[in-house]
């Protein structure tokens, strides 16, 4: 089998950066001419993160094929060229659901269904589904922390795969914490030793240990970890705290982690070509200017809820050789009396997506302020819908304009739940259950959009047809398109059939654009999304 597998586990505590470590290693291998992909295995029971509270789990990342996935897949796509799909994210819920369906169909011929072998075989099947003649290395990140009861079936599965595939095709990387006790002035390796002991107790011996720490570990500390954890002296690496996550690939490269991986897996590859990464870090450290952008939403207490958005704005800064300072503003704290105070001194304003009524009126007030004061504005998904509501109320004078999501009895639902629409991907009508409280379906994944010539959108993309990722239920109500256009709202992006409004703009404004899709999901540090690039450019111009 051509594809080799790298399994990445974590110990001591969560949020150490397994996803970023996986993405950085994959980026380094890709820089050496190897084809890579990354898969996230999450131990929680939810079938997918689509219905999970952003405060608990962070953002939901959406792939082209419409899968609602873990936010780490966003890191993966930003670091490597290979796009993710539904096969790159599995949860315990998805695994167990598949096994239960098979049992109900009689696939197991009446046998007793158990964690071993049925659940573990299903997990192994999910992992091995990535293998192909076109893929050199698949990196598999195991969510959670070693020792968590819910993660044991995943760890047992990856233990078995070394026996199934042969040790030359499997490599284990373990990420741990090495704290530094400032008073004593020394690094403590005991947490790492205990974490590796826990991993070895279930039959997995790590080949490489990556140590998360504030500062680089001295050689004697690395040698101590190697001795007590039974790995090579040159197989212990420091994942130090860096100013930007985009510095991590170069930090790991300077320590030689990619060469060690190639040696262990007996892979041949060309020398790393890291020019683009070095240029990126150079831009990071030497910005020519700075702009301040407000993100006005309701999940601002947890920045992870807007992870892709956060990164896409930084990418827009990289493309303009400037730094982007982000200020998160709680939309629930904004009203007519305090909007100027809350948004004073900003170079641009962005209103992101979301669900539900909480904080919506604050977003609408924010958009009015941006429109009237000529501040560059970018509305995404719900942000676009709020822009349509604001424009309908205050410019088209439809005083009670609203979304059917927020007020089901509104007489002027400029945003509503369509009963059906034409899906250009399937060439047929897609229907929604309008009786359901949440709607029978969402528009998920990549859809085409046709752009109006001489619009901000067309200028940004430089072409007439684009494909962008969606995650929403409610749409622009075409019943109001004529009155809004008569009052100056430009519908600059439509679905090919013309029945779905994807982008709205205002012409008499420095930069005012709302899009129904989520452009942040397709932005990367080397290639900023066109809309984010132009939005940041407009904010810089506004500042000057």
Separation of alpha carbons 538 and 348, rounded Å: 8
Counting every residue, how long is the chain? 544
**Count of other CB atoms within 10 angstroms of residue 223:** 13
Task: Yes or no: say if 168 and 207 are a contact pair by the CB < 8 Å rule.
Answer: no
Task: Yes or no: say if 373 and 343 are a contact pair by the CB < 8 Å rule.
Answer: no
The residue annotated as part of the active site, out of 315, 472, 509, 518, is: 518
Separation of alpha carbons 309 and 23, rounded Å: 18
Q: How far is CA 77 from CA 7, 36, 533, 535, 539, in A?
A: 18, 11, 18, 22, 26
Task: Yes or no: say if 503 and 491 are a contact pair by the CB < 8 Å rule.
Answer: yes
Site of tokens 């390796």: 189
The residue annotated as part of the active site, out of 381, 386, 449, 515, is: 381
Sheet of strand 290-297: strand arrangement = 323-330, 290-297, 348-351, 377-380, 512-515, 501-506, 489-494, 443-451, 465-472
Q: How far is CA 439 from CA 358, 416, 433, 495, in A?
A: 19, 11, 6, 21
426-446: burial string, b at 16+ Cβ within 10 Å, e else: eeeeeebeeeeeebeebbbbb
Q: How far is CA 159 from the centre of its chain?
A: 29
Task: Yes or no: say if 159 and 170 are a contact pair by the CB < 8 Å rule.
Answer: no
Separation of alpha carbons 146 and 10, rounded Å: 6
Torsion of CA 234, 236, 242, 246, to 10 degrees: 70
- What are the beta bridge partners of residue 291? 324
Q: Strands 236-240 and 180-181, how do they pair? A: unpaired
- Measured at the CA of 62, the angle between CA 319 and CA 142, to 5 degrees, comes to 100
Of 243, 248, 231, residue with least CA distance to 26: 248
**Count of other CB atoms within 10 angstroms of residue 340:** 10
Known catalytic membership, residue 381: yes
Of 231, 222, 264, 240, residue with least CA distance to 6: 264
Of 407, 458, 398, 405, residue with least CA distance to 432: 405
Known catalytic membership, residue 310: no
Q: Which residues are catalytic?
A: 381, 518, 520
């Amino acid at each position: 089998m051509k594809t080799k597998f790298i399994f990445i586990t974590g110990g001591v505590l969560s949020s150490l950066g397994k996803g970023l470590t996986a993405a950085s290693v994959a980026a380094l291998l890709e820089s050496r001419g190897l084809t890579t992909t990354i898969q996230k295995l999450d131990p929680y029971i939810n079938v997918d993160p689509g219905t999970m509270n952003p405060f608990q789990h962070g953002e939901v990342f959406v792939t082209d094929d419409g899968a609602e996935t873990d936010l780490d897949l966003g890191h993966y796509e930003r670091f490597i060229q290979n796009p993710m799909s539904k096969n790159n994210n599995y949860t315990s819920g998805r695994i167990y659901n598949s096994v239960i369906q098979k049992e109900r169909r009689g696939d197991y011929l009446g046998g007793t269904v158990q964690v071993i072998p049925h659940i573990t075989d299903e997990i192994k099947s999910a992992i091995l589904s990535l293998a192909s003649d076109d893929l050199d290395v698949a990196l598999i990140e195991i969510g959670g922390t070693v020792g968590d009861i819910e993660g044991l079936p995943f760890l047992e599965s990856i233990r078995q795969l070394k026996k199934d595939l042969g040790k030359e095709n499997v490599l284990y990387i373990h990420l741990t914490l090495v704290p530094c006790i400032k008073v004593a002035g020394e690094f403590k390796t005991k947490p790492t030793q205990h974490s590796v002991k826990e991993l070895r107790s279930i039959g997995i011996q790590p080949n490489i240990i990556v140590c998360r720490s504030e500062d680089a570990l001295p050689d004697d500390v690395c040698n101590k970890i190697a001795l007590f954890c039974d790995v090579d002296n040159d197989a212990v690496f420091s994942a130090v705290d860096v100013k930007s996550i985009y510095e991590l690939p170069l930090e790991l490269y300077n320590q030689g982690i990619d060469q060690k991986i190639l040696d262990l897996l007996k892979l041949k590859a060309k020398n790393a070509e890291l020019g683009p990464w070095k240029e990126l870090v150079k831009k990071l450290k030497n910005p020519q200017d700075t702009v301040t952008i407000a993100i006005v939403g309701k999940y601002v207490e947890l920045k992870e809820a807007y992870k892709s958005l956060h990164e896409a704005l930084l990418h827009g800064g990289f493309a303009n050789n400037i730094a982007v300072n982000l200020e998160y503003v709680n939309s629930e704290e904004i009203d007519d009396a305090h909007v100027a105070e809350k948004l004073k001194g900003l170079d641009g304003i962005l209103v992101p997506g979301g669900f539900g009524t909480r904080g919506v009126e604050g977003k609408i007030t924010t958009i009015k302020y941006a429109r009237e004061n000529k501040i560059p504005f970018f509305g995404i998904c719900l942000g676009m819908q709020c822009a349509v509501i604001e424009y309908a109320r205050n410019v088209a004078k439809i005083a009670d304009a609203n979304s059917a999501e927020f007020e089901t009895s509104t007489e002027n639902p400029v945003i509503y739940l369509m009963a059906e629409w034409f899906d250009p991907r399937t060439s047929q009508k897609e229907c929604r259950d309008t009786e359901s409280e949440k709607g029978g379906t969402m528009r998920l994944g990549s859809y085409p959009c046709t752009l109006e010539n001489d619009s901000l959108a067309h200028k940004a993309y430089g072409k007439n047809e684009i494909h962008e990722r969606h995650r929403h239920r409610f749409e622009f109500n075409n019943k109001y398109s004529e009155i809004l256009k008569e009052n100056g709202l430009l519908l600059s992006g439509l679905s090919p059939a013309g029945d779905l409004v994807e982008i709205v703009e205002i012409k008499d404004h420095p930069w005012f654009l709302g899009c129904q899709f989520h452009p942040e999901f397709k932005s990367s540090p080397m290639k900023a999304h066109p809309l984010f690039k132009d939005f940041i450019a407009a904010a810089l111009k506004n500042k000057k």
